[in-house]
Amino acid sequence: MKSREMVGRVAAFFDLDGTLIARPSLERRFFARLRQWRAIPMRNYFLWLARAAWLAPRGIRMMRYANKMYLRGVSVRDFQEGHQRQGQPGLAVPRFLPEGVDQLAWHVGQGHAIVLMSGTLAPLAQEMARALVARPAVRGIAASVAVCATRLEENDGQWTGRIVGDAMFGEAKGRAVQQMAVDKGFELGQCYAYGDSVADRWMLEAVGRPVAVNPSWRLKTRARRKSWPVLTWAEGKKAKQSSSSTPGEQRNADEIWEHVG
């Protein structure tokens, strides 16, 4: 049991794609919706290819996360109002994995800060944060969900296709967690993080209580080597621990770490 004075200094950092929601990713869903409503000008595809070629020397992940030229000229207002107005290219919020929501609700009940750490577009992550707060699992508890995601540059109410600051993936996630700890006074050794990809390893390694959720084989291998808990979260199923970890019912993050500790 944590002392009361520690509660305000603990945060739980959650990845989104593959962790709190099933794939395909939020951005892929959003892209498909934009194409459906023909909201992407044809020239943007060529701009995207040109930007991809420029980013290629920095790796495939940089090409993926830092190249948003397909959004050039797309209306910010259309996105903001799209989930309320039929026929607009907003995000249809996907279902959260139930056990992920249960885990998040447990952290809320403990008074922990909740932060969504995602490489997806910040507007998409913010939509998910609002949807999370409205979930019955956390309703009635004063929940606040912070967002740290890839920010988009705007000009005259339209996206330019450029990002502001770092694309939020890989090492950038780890740096963001550490900076947030400085700004908010979090005790990282007592904090939690949940991720599914080996690219989340910097975020996971930045905290004292990392958990691999639905991990890729590379992250699962790393988790086993470091004795991190490995969980499988799926739609319509109870949370379960993988065979690589100590068996037993897992009700909250403290119990997970009691089993592996």
Class of domain 4-260: alpha beta
48: left (phi over 0), alpha (psi -120 to 50) or beta: alpha
Calculate the alpha carbon distances from 184 to 45, 187, 211 in Å. 40, 9, 22
pLDDT tens-digit series, residues 192-215:
999 999 999 999 999 999 999 999
pLDDT tens-digit series, residues 167-196:
999 999 999 999 999 999 999 999 999 999
Q: Is the pLDDT of residue 250 over 60?
A: no
pTM of the predicted model, to two decimals?
Answer: 0.84
pLDDT tens-digit series, residues 96-114:
999 998 899 899 888 899 9
Q: Is the pLDDT of residue 90 over 70?
A: no
Query: What confidence score (pLDDT) does residue 92 get?
Result: 61
**pLDDT tier at 42 (50, 70, 90 boundaries)?**
very high
Task: Provide mean pLDDT across the span 5-21.
Answer: 85
Buried b or exposed e, range 242-253, using 16+ CB within 10 angstroms: beebeeeebebb
Top pLDDT among 258 and 128 is at 128
